[in-house]
Amino acid sequence: MKKIEPITSGQMASLFFAFLLGSAIINIPQPLIEAAKNGAWISVILANGCGLVLLTCIFYVYHKNPELNFIGHIQQKFGKWLMIIIGVPIVLQLFLMLSYIIIDIGGFFTNSMMRQTPSYMFHFFILLVSALTVRSGFEVMARMFVLLLCYLLFFSIIVIILTVPFFHVDFLLPVLPDGIKPVLHGAYRNFGFPYIEITLFSLLLPFVHKNEGKTLQKKMFSVLIIHGLLLIIAVVCTIMAFGPLASHLKYSLFQLARLINIREIVTRVESFIGIALVVGSYMKATISLFILKELLGSVFQLKNKDILIFPITLISLLLSLTMFTNELEFVEAVQVVYPLYTTVIVVLPLLFITIVTLIKGRE
């Protein structure tokens, strides 16, 4: 197995950004606006705030010992069995997350562009490419994603700029016609997707150069804040362009791109956004695959973790094809169930270890 060489903090921050942006960019902001109407941007702020809190906990634990992720910390303090008890549900949850990402992108393609193609083709190819990427090594992933991320950001921002003629600022009012509850509902949805997955990403932190801990912290916090800003901009632009329709039109960024029509030449640029969506999902799937491989490898105490890649991919493929019988089951699973059990499985252990470290630190 190739020894995994450490990467720079800049690359880790880019991976983080890609991870957060990856599948959020497909669906958000339609579910948020559906729940929170015009106050959706406040939901984003709230969810982002929770994410910042989580990130603080993670870094607190990280600085105590940069070599271990928080599961390693649990193992260190409480022994192997607790780690396995906590680790196994996390592994299951990662399987689910990976399958959800694939189902998402398959759903996007079969809905919007190529309806006759069965979804297993999309699932198969994305998983295949992800598996190949993970196989070729962590450094390759880190290097490539920096470039892909630039592409993603560039085109998203261009699309948003080009749709400015369609904006009606008065659609943003009224902000809270029905009180604060819809906003909290939206925050709940946004928290589950993607902010709660910060905790899962933290399992990768030991792969950075040891002496870059401080810059890593700064960079990751700025990434989180920038990501929040981007989501807010996307939500606000969707509301401004579509008004009352914003909660109805799925794949908001894609539909925004469809509006652009400059002199009949710069038109139909949603293809670039489509590519961006696929690339984003692919990046997130690859990173999740990598985290899963690492975690499973350390749970089973394997020396050569690469052999796990293709079995995991196969299981994910099967899961993504068979888990849900129709689209709405999936939507409900993601919007209602997912945040809740991820909180229980991942966030609670993280908070637990943070508190324990805090207490032990004071002694």
Partner 1 sequence: MKRWLTIAILLFLTGCWSSKELVEYGFVMGISIDQTENEEIEFHAQIYSPAETIGGTSGGETPFYTNINSKGKSVFDSARNIPVYLGRKAQWSHMRVVLIGEDFAKKHNIGDVLEFFYRDHETRLMSYVLITNRKAADYWEMKPFIERTISQELRTILDSSANFTGKSKKSMLLNVAMDLKSKSKTTLIPYIKKTDNDSLAPVANGAAVVQEGKMVDYLDAADFEKIIMLKNEYKGGIINFPCMDKENDKLQETIEVAALETNLSPQFNQESLSIDITTKIDGFLGELQCSTVTTADEVEKLEKHIAKNIQDDMNQVIHYLQENELDVLGIADKLYQQKPQLWKKHEAEWGKMLAESEVDLEVEVKVESTGMAGGEKVVEE
Partner 2 sequence: MRRQIVRNQPDVISLDITENQKQIDKQFTNCSDLKLFPWQYGPKLKHKAFSVFFHTMVQQKELNYMKESMQDLVTHEVGPAEEVNLEDVIRFFSKNGISSQNAKIVKSFDEAISNVLSGNVVIFFHGWDQALSYSQAKQVNVREVTEPTGESVVKGPHEGTVEQLDRNIGLLRTRLQNSHFKMEQFKAGGTTQTDIAYGYLDGVVDEGTLAEFKQRIKRAKKGDILETNYIEEVIEDNNYSPLPQHRYTERPDTAIAALLEGKIVVLVQGTGTILICPGLLTEFFQVSEDYYHRVIFSSFIRLIRIVAFFLALTLPSIFIALTTFHPELIPTNLLMAILDTREGIPFPAFVEIAIMIFFFELLREAGIRLPKTIGSAVSIVGALIIGEAAINANIASPAVVILVALTGIASFAIPQYSIAISIRLMQIPLMILSAILGGFGIMIGYILIMIHITSLRSLGQPYFSPLTPFRPRQILDVFIRAPLKILQDSPRKRDKRNI
Q: Which residues bind partner 1 (CB under 8 A)?
A: 111-118, 121, 170, 173-174, 177, 242-245, 248-249, 255, 258-259, 261
180 binds, among partner 1, partner 2, none (CB under 5 to 8 A by kind): none
Which DSSP symbol is given to 266? E
Burial (0-12, 13-18, 19+ Cβ within 10 Å), 209 = middle
- Residue 147 or 180 having the CB closest to partner 2: 147
Looking at the DSSP bridge assignments, the partners of residue 258 are none
Give the containing element (helix H, strand E) for 312.
Answer: helix 309-322
Taking CB under 8 A as the criterion, which residues in 266-295 touch partner 2?
A: 267-268, 270-271, 274-275, 278-279, 282
Contacts 24+ apart (CB under 8 A), 266-273: 266/162, 269/159, 269/162, 272/155, 272/159, 273/155, 273/156, 273/159
Among 53, 68, 84, 148, binds partner 2 (CB under 8 A): 148
Question: Considering the rule CB under 8 A, would residue 114 count as an interface residue with partner 2?
Answer: yes
Q: Distance between CA 311 and CA 302 in Å, rounded?
A: 15
Build a one-symbol-per-residue string for 83-112: x at contacts with partner 2 by CB under 8 A, - elsewhere: --------------------------x---
Question: Considering the rule CB under 8 A, would residue 317 count as an interface residue with partner 2?
Answer: no
Q: Count of CB atoms within 10 A of residue 168's CB?
A: 11
Give the C-alpha distances (Å, rounded to integers) separating 272 from 223, 237, 254, 277, 278: 23, 18, 9, 9, 10
- Nearest Cα residue to 288 out of 209, 346, 203: 203
Among 56, 65, 117, 222, binds partner 2 (CB under 8 A): 117
- Minimum distance between the CB of residue 100 and partner 1, rounded to whole angstroms? 22
8 binds, among partner 2, partner 1, none (CB under 5 to 8 A by kind): partner 2
- Minimum distance between the CB of residue 31 and partner 1, rounded to whole angstroms? 18
- Residue 107 or 339 having the CB closest to partner 2: 107
125 binds, among partner 1, partner 2, none (CB under 5 to 8 A by kind): partner 2
**138-162 helix and 119-135 helix, angle to the nearest 10 degrees:** 130
Among 89, 111, 139, 302, binds partner 2 (CB under 8 A): 139
Which DSSP symbol is given to 269? T
Q: Distance between CA 48 and CA 32 in Å, rounded?
A: 13
122 binds, among partner 2, partner 1, none (CB under 5 to 8 A by kind): partner 2
Burial (0-12, 13-18, 19+ Cβ within 10 Å), 137 = middle
Q: Is 7 helix (H, G, I), strand (E, B) or coil?
A: strand
327 binds, among partner 2, partner 1, none (CB under 5 to 8 A by kind): none
- Residue 119 or 342 having the CB closest to partner 2: 119
- Nearest Cα residue to 243 out of 160, 166, 164: 166
Q: Distance between CA 323 and CA 360 in Å, rounded?
A: 43
- Residue 27 or 130 having the CB closest to partner 2: 130
Which DSSP symbol is given to 156? H
Among 82, 146, 226, 259, binds partner 2 (CB under 8 A): 146
- Residue 238 or 288 having the CB closest to partner 1: 238
Q: How many residues bind partner 2 (CB under 8 A)?
A: 38
129 binds, among partner 2, partner 1, none (CB under 5 to 8 A by kind): partner 2
- Minimum distance between the CB of residue 39 and partner 1, rounded to whole angstroms? 12
Q: Distance between CA 252 and CA 242 in Å, rounded?
A: 9
The residue ranges that bind partner 2 (CB under 8 A) are 5, 7-8, 10-11, 109, 113-114, 117, 121-122, 125-126, 129, 132-133, 136-137, 139-140, 142-144, 146-148, 209, 264-265, 267-268, 270-271, 274-275, 278-279, 282
